[in-house]
Each structure stands twice: as structure tokens, then as C-alpha cells.
Structure 1
């Protein structure tokens, strides 16, 4: 660290708080076991961030070796780990790759050879891998240090972290096949997308299961295995099935672990199907919940439900963040759980009880026939929501007065819209925040020294409509609409993002923001728009609208917050003010969580840049790393310092002129993009 005074202050603050000192490595998907995404590195600062240069770019080769129609079903969301002197990550096709941290040169690669004919429900995707050291093995023994990964075809694989060779003593030749619990409708109905977690000598995996396909779907079991042998240890079903007909409330999002307490924290999803729950009466306990399990046995220690009887697809998509916070009444170990609705729940880590009051408030009623809604939902009272939770026809957006804005106003006005938790209906219901909005799988980041929480949020409107079963015969959903059969329920469903005739989101910008929150004070400190239309609009017009942000951030002791977006830039923001300071050009959008590491005395920032097929971005296959310029190096023209908040935009008058002239191109380009689920 370059500044010894700052380093001393940082260490004293950490030790006084009783928090373990973070390392300069990034050994877990969320930076550490608790997913704080905080690094103590401070070589890169607000003063010198403009001197960053691209250190290297590595391409997996997928664009060259996979068919274009297969690549159109990928999401590159992986975050590399720095372990065993290598950067290790997974491709959307579950290839595990190790790179030299300084040059980006490939050191080894393991290919599990998954089929590209399975059409996975959640696209081809692998968010990351997990690292484990067997302290009972000899220092030079093969597979003493292991990388674990889950696959799109439901395998758990262990490989040697130094060589990439499968660990023969784990399962059958290094892998185990996860039993899905019932026959699948098609091979891609069940997959593993998030990184496993490891606590002591137990490796734990969740699953991603197709939404809205059927009522009686595969169970959403969380499964634990012996990290040495692969033998099953326990399983936990997040859905209490007494009197309930439903398949799953799975854990597709990243999990967290507390090694000292021996606890693993699950962010559970909504039961199947998402938008009608008449066959699953009651609150559906342990669904839509933070669940703490004892890692040795799988026994539930506690759980806290954030949505009762979910019919909005408001599952917990973000990793629970574990930290020690100053509550105003002393330090407490907590679980911080952000949600799609924009809530931030702060729970005691030992009991699961809210640190600050949560109120049960009445919510709209009058669900579809056969529905049994909860009369109330929990609302945190101390930390304000990270985004607005209601929208009216007067709040819509359009570039052309009375035309596209009028179309949006009519679209919103035609649907039932009684505010947050308005139930799905055959009329069509406004779901705002959308089902992929608020804080998504990228999660939040927490600075343990300054006690500030940082999170990316998305704003968009979903229109969800229930289709009576008798009307589904021969039904063809309109273009741009998701269609879920919800087999076994009296209704199918459609879901679409509310967009204008130009394909622009119907709600007013910003469509994506970074938010900083003082948890102790219960106050939002600042908001900053993230992203522009530069890589979506004709001629690179950079409207300052922000882009939806399903990915997360990385924060550093150097006072910076790094994030990608749905345009092709990695960005750095001042952690204190929220001012955007720097943009580094990427080959395609980096819709992944960035990470930072130190290698041979230099700090690097890296991000997976492969795009996001569900959101219509350009698709790629790169990992890109930046570092400070060395003597004689000059920052690229495509890496630039931002002189004012908001970035580099055309003047409003010129931009509007281009919109009118290029109307046809806007229609063509923007209709290609849809903001889907993450």
C-alpha cells in the first residue's frame, strides 16, 4: 500500500471493530466468504485513476468455436478468483480457465464438455468457482488445493487448482451428478449457475430451475457434499410442503458462509409457479427468505422471510452480505440482504431478527380466482428503499411528446396498478420495481471501515398478465413477451417490459444507478447514474439515461467503486461523492462483477466482458484487466477521465435532432433489446 498513514488508519479501524483483516487476494466470488466485495488495496486512487491502462485482454475462444445461435444464449457473469498465483474463472460453458495475473496468458484449462443442445432455461451461464485447501493433505499432494464448480448440466466438479486436472478421489473421476428429484421436461430445466460455497470440508451448491413452467417442478434442494470424496452429507428443501402443491423455492443466487459460526446463509427464491399460488396456501415458509443452516448437518438455525406468499417473482437474488456494523448501540455481526424491491433488510447474524424495526403493512388484495394472498408484507423502516416503488401513468417517459410517451401512458393506464404488491391479474398488472429490478444477483458491497453500503439498482416496469387456461390453446404471445405455461395452475402468464414504440423503457430515467447508503444513519448518501446508450443507439449517441444493472460493484480502500454496465465500459466512481471519475473501454459490455488484486506490487482491476444475451447486448468472450500506466505508457483514448458527473454526452439539442433524423434506426436498434431476467 502506497500511503502508510492511510494503511495504519485502515488497520486500526478494522482491528478496533474486531473484523478480520482482508487480504490483497480475491479468494471468493464476493471477495470474501461474506460477500463484502471490499478490497484493502489502495494503490489506485481518485487522484490517479485516470492513469489506468489496459494491462491485458484474454479471450476464451467461444466466439470462434461455438455456433452463433448458441452464443446468443449465453451470459458471461463470471468473476475471477486470485488463488495459487493464478486468476481462475469459468466460461458460460463451464470451462475452468487459469491465467497468469500479470499477462493474462493461459496457464491451464479444463473443459467438462457440456452439451450445447440442452437449451438451459437460464441461458448458458457460470458466475464463478470456489477454492478450497485440504489442510489434511501434504503440501505437494495432488488436489490439496481444489477448484469446485457447478455446471449447466447439473454436475459438481473438483479439479486441482494448480494443474486443472480432475481430482480422482472426488465422486467418479472428479465429478458427481446431481439428482434432480424428478424427471425433467427437457435437459435444460435444471442447472447450477452460481459458484458453490465451501465451509470447513463441506461443499454446498444450489440450483437454477425454470420458472413458470409447471406447478409440480423439480424440488429446489440445497445439497452438501464431502469436499474430499464427494459423498452426500445433507440436503435442505427451502419449501415447507405441508398442504402445498409446488415444486421448488430454490437457491439460484450466490450463498455466503460464516466459518466461525459454522453457518451457511441461503437467499431463497419464490415457489413455483411465480405468479399464481392458489395451490400453495399460506406464507410458504422458508421461500423468499434468508435461511441460516448449520453447515455440519443442514439443520435450520433460523430464517427470515422478506416476502410472504410471493406472486411477483420477488425472490432473493442477491448474495447475503456478512459484516460487522455500528448500529448506534454498539457493534453487531449482521446479515445485510438487499432485494429486488429495493429494500435493505439488516438481520442479527445469530438470531435472524431485524436489527431495526420492520413493519407488517397492508398491501393490495383481490387476487385472481383461487389465489390466497397475504394481507400484509414486511417493510423495513430504518433504511429507506433504494428506489421508488410505485409509478403512475403520469410518470412515464418519451422522447417525442404525445407519441411515444402517449403510448407508454396508455400501456401503464390499461393495467391494474395499486402500487407495490399489486397482485397479477387477467387485466394485466404493473409490477414496479420489475421482477429483475432493484438489486439483483450482483449483490451489494460493504465498506467495513467507513460503514457504507454500495449497490447497483435497475428501474423498469413489467406488465404481467394472467391468461385463463382455456384461452391458452393455440395462444401465441406477442413479440417481446415471456410466456409461462404454469402447467397445473388455472392460469398461464405473459410478462413484458413496458417499452415505447421506439423500444425505450417507459419509465423515466435513470434506468440504472449506483446508490451509497449510511446504514447506521438510515440515509442514502448519494446516487449516480451508470451507463449510457452509446453502444445501443445509432451513431453512438450517449444519452445519460443509465442502463439496467443486474451486476454488482467492487470497492477499495483507495476510495473507489468499480462497476460494469450494459454499455462497453468499466467505470470508477469516487466512493465519497459518487462522481464518475474514469471509464475504461471494453470489447463488449461487462455485465459481471469486477474484482481487484495485487500482483508483483501492482494493483489490477479485472472484469468479464462477454455481454448479456437476455438484454440484447453484443456478445463476447473476454476477460479484461487494467492497471496504472508504467513509465512510458500512455492511457488509451478509449480510457478516459471524466471531468464532471454523468460522463461524456452530446448536448441535448443535438441529441434530440439526431433522434428525429434517425427515428427508423432507433426503432430497429432498440427493438432488438429487451431487459429480461438476470
Structure 2
């Protein structure tokens, strides 16, 4: 790369020692210029500390079963600061993990939030107009599960008395909620030009007349309302939502905030909202100070698949071959990557409108076409064929998967929901989720975690839905006001295995300029879920994101209890750091007193049925005389791969033999009975 171009790209990088934003920088690149930890020494990492929030001891098990610890810490004001699922904000010593201060907003345990108790992060803002060292001259902002926006002094954790009422502003929703947790805030606000902007997370499939997905802005000093933006135009339609539950991005220089909007309500039937649904399912650019609409680009027309935008728009400067260009990169649940001009919202490379399956249920008005990017390849397959079913054990297969997958409507991507049942692949939580993508500005490579699973969605006529009680593992949405309720479940065998062939989670690297996949690596094993800790390398669903470094590494967690490091050039897995429970969160890295650390929240994932925890874990390189840790292991240790594979093969053959014997015994008993 020419020296001038490299220099310009490095100027766009975040500060060398800090991680001051949820996404690493205000544009969500999740890139750190740190180079102390490299592919050559990452295998030597040792635990620096493990901090427990205390939730496991203080909260009832039934309450913890409704949590997701998805926070990304920030390194600001000489502290590592993060939020717990119950919106407690905690500041730690960056080297030891010792608690420095703590703030509890007292979120009610009876809130019952529809999307679990979760706080993905907090936001830091330094007030350039405040006197240095004055109280609240630097602030921490957070949205809560009970829809408050809170401002704290970043150095002490004390509420900022001049913000709202005693440091908080309560959101005015505008209509009664079905229950208190129908409306919540799960992702961090953004702050720019003295304005704090906040979205919301609203429970899906409850009703047609759901709360509106309004994005709200407040004065960052006083908490006074500045503006609001509703992605939907409600003239002649009945719908709510189109909210922004995922993280947003800001461009301070342009004075723009970028919103990833969701689908209108309800998700799987849109007869009361004809047309393309305005700015739903769109990347939307607004003036930060006024809320004025600058541009909008829609990624799904008239969404009836829950294919909302779940990820932070990534702001990057890319080399298109004709020089550098400022863009917005938006990954999707379908595995698409849209690359848009940051000033106009126009696609950098062509996006085609292609015909998609039709024939929705009565009253539905589907869009005849959907947008498909043409230059950047799909991050994952987008069609499920019969040969993609996972036959395990291989000889016998899975009768339970056969029964679930047969008779469903399956016309490929954008097959409409139906009364017979529709196969949705990628699933509604698949592709790229809230963890988002990461961008290496030096090598011009995009990295993203992807999930592979099949959702089975069925529309239930209203008369049949009354009194329906689906079995465990089946989502039931009443969709009140629509002629259909809905059920949704992940296609899974009685052994607890997904019905689609592995991998079930993969990390992908994409050369944007060339428009090609550089590599794809499976992430995660069955070790923490399978009997005898058998570690089949099948991958796990990956809703979380990654952190990348100029040192040539990609860090990520998974649904098993490891933090992993991959070689950014080859995709080779280099290291595993054992965690107390799965780290289903975005990792981050920082430099503190000359040492580089990598940290991740390890709290498990209640929706996925993993073990639940309350830890924040950090790793660093060993100091002189410090012994290696059993928590860390390199992947290519001598003989390790051979013996682990040999043990797995023997155990797999034993399982197959047992399954065949049981099948033969049942067949013999049936023959005897006849």
C-alpha cells in the first residue's frame, strides 16, 4: 500500500491506548492499533483478573435466568467502566480489576423485560465547555431496562444533578404498555455535538398497535428534549416499532447520527401496513443537532421475516480503487453487506432489485422485489436444501429433524410466512447480529461473526390461537390486531443439535475492494454442552462481535466458555482462553501502564441455555517470572490435535454403535409383535 494512503488510514484510527466507545471508535470499527500481543506470542496470555459483579449471589436464580451479560467495557478516566444486565454501572482498576465505584439505578426485578435484562454498554462524553475537573465535566450515559436515560460523573459514578431530575430522564412512551417490560433500552446511547441520542427495544409480535419506534435526543448537559424521529409515516397504516434497538454510530465532523432501524409491528404479518414501510429496515442518517432526515437506504421492503437491522453501522474510509471514500458498512441478518456513501446513502457498488417468492397469506401485500448487493459476496449461504439437513448419527440420521423439516414451505430467501409453516434461513437471529462487524482500516478487511440455524415460523388463524399453549422452546406471538398469531422455533433434534449441518457459527474475513471472501473459520465446539465434554468443532451461534488489532489478531467469544484469538491474515485459530462461562459479548483491548489487555464479559446466554455467570475477565502477556496459566492454551500444542481427534472419533463410533443397536432392537421387537 502506498505510504501516503497508509498514513491517511492510520490517522482515522482510534487513540492508541484507549477503548472509549462501545465500538472502539464512534464509527464502530472495533479496531485497535495496539501491537504488543501478536500471533507469535498470543499463546502466552495469562489471566490478569476476574471480577464478579455479585449478581449470582444477590439475585434469585429465576431472575438470573432472564439475563444476558453482553456489555463491552470502556477504558476512560483511568478506569474500566461497564454496565451489568440490571444497569448497575461499575468502574474497575484496569490492571487488577479492583472495584473503584459502583452505581445502582434500582431497576425493578418485576420489570420482566421482553428481551431479557440486558445492557450492552455505556457511553462516555467529555464536555469541552466545562471547567477541567468540575463535577460531571466528563459523563457516563446509559439507557435502562425501565426506559430511563441516566447521566453519571465519569470519575465518581455520582448522578449528574443538572441532567433531568437528579441525573435521569424518563422516556415518555405515549401509550400504555401491555406489561412494564414491553419497552426497554438495551444498547448504549450515542453523544455528539452536545446531544445524547437513544433508541429502544420493544417486544416483538405482541400487537399491531405497538409502541412507536421513536428515536429521541436530549441535551447532554441539561437532559432537555431536543428532537425525536419516527421512522414510520402513520397516514393510513396501523403499525408501531421500526425502532432502533441495536447500537448507533456518529460522524462528529459531518454532524450525522446513523440509525439501524427495525421492522414495523408485528414481524410476520403486514396486511395493516401496505407498501415498503417508509424508513423501517433502513440505514437512516439524521442531523445530530436537529434530527433532520439527510438520507435513508432500505435493506428490506415490507419486512415479514424479522430481518431488521441488528448491527451498528460501521463508518469507514475505504479504498474503492478510485481513491479513498467515506462509507457506511451495514451487515444484515441475511448475511448481506451493504456499502453506502456516507454523504448520500447511495450504494458504492450496484444493488439490484430481484424478484423474490410471492404468495403470502390472505391480506398480505408482499413486495415483488428485494435489494441484493452485487459486489461484496454474501457472508453465508442463504438457502437450505434437503442435503443440508444434519444427519446425526450419520447412518441413522435424526427422525425428529426429518419430522420438523418436512412439509414446510421453502422457496429460498424471503419465502413468506404461511399457515403450513415456513422455513426461514438464515434464521431471524442469524447472519450478523448485534455484535456487528469490525473493519481493519490498514488492510481494508471486514471481519464479522455469522450464525447458521433454521427457524420454523407458522401463522395461526386467530380463532385457533385462542388458548394455544405452545410447548417449551416454541415462541408464541399473539400479534393482537392481526388475523394471525405466530409460532417460531429453532429446528433442533431431540439430542439438542441443530437440524442444519455444521458449522453453526463462523468468523468471516472479506476484502471489500476485491469483493471476495478471504477466509472463513469455524468458531466454537460442543465441549461445554456435549456428554463427556466431547469437543466437536461444529461451531456455535455467534450473536456477539469481534475486536481486531494492528498486531494481526481477531478476538471473539462464543457459546462455549472460551475467548479465542485468530490470525487476521489466515483465519487460523491460535489461542483459547478459558472463561468461567461463555463470553457472549464483544471483547475489547486496551493499553494500561505499558501492558496490553484483552477483556470480555462472561455471563453466558440465557436464551441459548448456557450456564449463567457474572464475570468480567481480562488477559495479558506474562510478566517476568510469571508461570503460564492453565486457563490459556495454544491450538497447535504437540500431539494435542491427534489425541483429541482420536478420542472424539472413538466416542463418536461408540455413540453410533449404541444408536444402531437400539434401532436394531426396536425393529426386532416390532417384528416379534407382528
Which TM-score band (shorter chain)? over 0.9
After TM superposition, the structure 1 = structure 2 runs for residues 322-341 of structure 1, keeping only pairs within 5 Å, are: 322-341=315-334
After TM superposition, the structure 1 = structure 2 runs for residues 102-501 of structure 1, keeping only pairs within 5 Å, are: 102-401=95-394, 403-501=396-494
| Structure 2 unaligned spans of 5+ | 660-674
Which of 633, 638, 647 lines up with 1:640 in the alignment? 633
2:671 is matched with none
1:614 is matched with 607
Which of 648, 651, 656 lines up with 1:655 in the alignment? 651
SS of 1:464's equivalent in the other structure is strand
Change (3 A) 1:10 1:212: farther
Whether the aligned pair in 1 keeps the contact of 2:9 and 2:441 (CA below 8 Å) is no
Q: TM-score, normalized by length of structure 1?
A: 0.95
User: Residue 567 in 1 paired to residue 560 in 2?
Assistant: yes
2:536 is matched with 543
| Count, aligned residues | 657
Which of 507, 516, 519 lines up with 1:523 in the alignment? 516
Tell me how large the CA RMSD over aligned residues is.
Answer: 1.8
Whether the aligned pair in 2 keeps the contact of 1:35 and 1:256 (CA below 8 Å) is yes
Which of 596, 608, 619 lines up with 1:626 in the alignment? 619
Whether the aligned pair in 2 keeps the contact of 1:404 and 1:500 (CA below 8 Å) is no
1:506 shift after superposition: 0.4
User: Residue 90 in 1 paired to residue 83 in 2?
Assistant: yes
C-alpha distance in structure 2 between counterparts of 1:613 and 1:410, whole Å:
27
1:538 shift after superposition: 1.2
C-alpha distance in structure 2 between counterparts of 1:187 and 1:429, whole Å:
32
1:401 shift after superposition: 3.8
C-alpha distance in structure 1 between counterparts of 2:316 and 2:280, whole Å:
24
1:247 shift after superposition: 1.1
SS of 1:596's equivalent in the other structure is strand
Whether the aligned pair in 2 keeps the contact of 1:510 and 1:545 (CA below 8 Å) is yes
1:30 is matched with 23
C-alpha distance in structure 1 between counterparts of 2:329 and 2:394, whole Å:
42
SS of 1:15's equivalent in the other structure is helix
C-alpha distance in structure 2 between counterparts of 1:21 and 1:121, whole Å:
35
SS of 2:434's equivalent in the other structure is coil
SS of 1:128's equivalent in the other structure is coil
Q: Deviations over 1:181-200 (max 9, x none)?
A: 21000000000000010012
> For structure 1, which segment, 628-637 or 214-223, has the greater mean C-alpha deviation from structure 2 after superposition?
628-637
SS of 1:374's equivalent in the other structure is coil
1:409 shift after superposition: 3.3
1:666 is matched with none
Change (3 A) 1:648 1:333: farther
> For structure 1, which segment, 399-408 or 164-173, has the greater mean C-alpha deviation from structure 2 after superposition?
399-408
Whether the aligned pair in 2 keeps the contact of 1:15 and 1:21 (CA below 8 Å) is no
Change (3 A) 1:651 1:603: same
1:24 shift after superposition: 1.9
SS of 1:274's equivalent in the other structure is coil
> For structure 1, which segment, 139-148 or 470-479, has the greater mean C-alpha deviation from structure 2 after superposition?
470-479
Change (3 A) 1:649 1:313: farther
SS of 2:463's equivalent in the other structure is helix
1:673 is matched with none
C-alpha distance in structure 2 between counterparts of 1:535 and 1:324, whole Å:
40
Q: Deviations over 1:90-142 (max 9, x none)?
A: 00000000000000000000000010111100000000000001111111210
C-alpha distance in structure 1 between counterparts of 2:178 and 2:657, whole Å:
48
C-alpha distance in structure 1 between counterparts of 2:66 and 2:244, whole Å:
22
